[in-house]
Amino acid sequence: MTRLLLDVSGHGYGHLAQSAPAVNALAKRRPDLDLTVRADLPASLLRERLAMPFRHLAIRPDPGLVMGDALTVDRAASLARYREFHRDWDSAIAAEAAWQEQEGFDLVLADVAYRSLAGAARAGVAAAALSSLDWASVFQHYLGDRPGAGPIHDQILAAYRQARVFLQPVPHMPMDDLANRREVGPISPPPERDPAALKRGLAGHRGLGLVSMGGIPFPLDPAQWPEDPDTLWVVAGALAERADQRDPADLTIPPLELLAAADTVVTKPGYATFAEAACQGVDVLYIPRGDWPEEPYLIDWIRRHARAASLTREALADGAFIERARDLKDCPRPRRPECSGAADAATALAALLP
């Protein structure tokens, strides 16, 4: 039996969307894989993404950021959370190392928690990071000028440097401070159902659109949108009496299947939705966050690999995005990227196992 600890940040759902396909690919190579997932995420979401049995420890493994909504960082609350997380840091690392030794893990994979990486290094357990961003860079961007931020940043960076390898799925931040970084291809799981058949079943002769701002709440009022005779829009809060709207809660279809079947997705810049849309040939309308440090790399990549355009918050609020979605269809479709990241990551992880 090979024991794997998957440590997943609960900052949205994108970290799980990156790491789960890599773990699924690794499990095909190592059928004896015994998986523990430490994540403050719904068990239903883990079951949706992971293709094997697992033990779930519903614990937040890193601070992430406190969000006012899907686009806005609460800096003061985020700094307080980091200060608390890093209090008695050396004792916390010692406790983490002792727990990993007691559990008998053969490998730790973090996306992109960092205390587990430092604990693994102390315990002598092989460890790898996998993410398109690192919290050291994000922390420095938002909080690096705050009192006491320097030692916290240094501890985060030191933990990442202790990983055997930091796998960077395309597209990703540069992370120039990490000498152990290694690029892998874009990560997107293949849909389990036939997207064309799923689309016909849901939308009939209409197009299919998905409005999804990720795993962090964002206020929407679909009642304000003009009726769309051409597209069925799947969006939280959809009006039951309208033929052009459906609420995803009324469907039994996982979001990943919906995204693969959609013609257009309306979202914020985030790794999972961008990579999966480009790999599945789905048009993308996005509302820029403005100050998210990963955003320039995501936007540059999606514009090269999908029909994509930016939106304002106002265009999402009043439904003007519907016309923008029509306009995108007149643009040439770029060539889809080769989405080899899950297999690439599995190869790198397998090399760390006994």
| Tens digit of each residue's pLDDT (9 = 90 or more) over 304-343 | 999 999 999 999 999 999 999 999 999 999 999 999 999 9
Give the pLDDT confidence score for residue 69 in this predicted structure: 81
Give the pLDDT confidence score for residue 334 in this predicted structure: 96
Give 190's pLDDT tier (boundaries 50, 70, 90). confident
pLDDT at 94 over 90: yes
| Structure tokens that stand for 230 in this block | 């051409």
pLDDT in tens, 200-223: 999 888 999 999 987 667 788 999
Q: Taking residues 232-238, what's their average pLDDT?
A: 94
Cα–Cα dist 251/230, whole Å = 20
Give 295's pLDDT tier (boundaries 50, 70, 90). very high
How far CA 197 is from CA of 230, 233, 235, 260, 264, in Å, comes to 18, 17, 20, 11, 16
47-56, 69-78, 109-118: least confident range? 69-78
pTM exceeding the 0.85 threshold for the entire prediction: yes
The one-letter code for the residue type at 254 is P
Give the pLDDT confidence score for residue 213 in this predicted structure: 85
Biggest distance spanned by C-alpha atoms of the chain:
61
Q: Which residue matches tokens 């398109």?
A: 132
pLDDT in tens, 102-129: 999 999 999 999 999 999 999 999 999 9
pLDDT in tens, 10-37: 887 899 999 999 999 999 999 999 999 9
* Intra-chain end-to-end CA distance of the chain, in Å: 11
pLDDT at 77 over 90: yes
The one-letter code for the residue type at 259 is L
Q: What is the DSSP string of 42-78?
A: -HHHHHHH-SS--EEE----S----EEETTEE-HHHH
Which residues have CB under 8 Å from 276's CB, separation 6+? 17, 188, 189, 256, 259, 260, 282
Which residues have CB under 8 Å from 18's CB, separation 6+? 111, 130, 131, 132, 169, 187, 271, 272
Q: Taking residues 151-162, what's their average pLDDT?
A: 98
Give the pLDDT confidence score for residue 71 in this predicted structure: 80
Give the pLDDT confidence score for residue 219 in this predicted structure: 84
Cα–Cα dist 317/321, whole Å = 9
Quick one: CA dihedral 313, 316, 319, 324, positive or negative?
positive
Give the pLDDT confidence score for residue 216 in this predicted structure: 65
pLDDT in tens, 322-332: 999 999 999 99
Give the pLDDT confidence score for residue 47 in this predicted structure: 95
pLDDT at 172 over 90: yes
Domains identified in the chain and CATH numbers: 2-187+341-350 (3.40.50.2000), 195-328 (3.40.50.2000)
pLDDT in tens, 238-261: 988 999 999 998 998 887 899 999
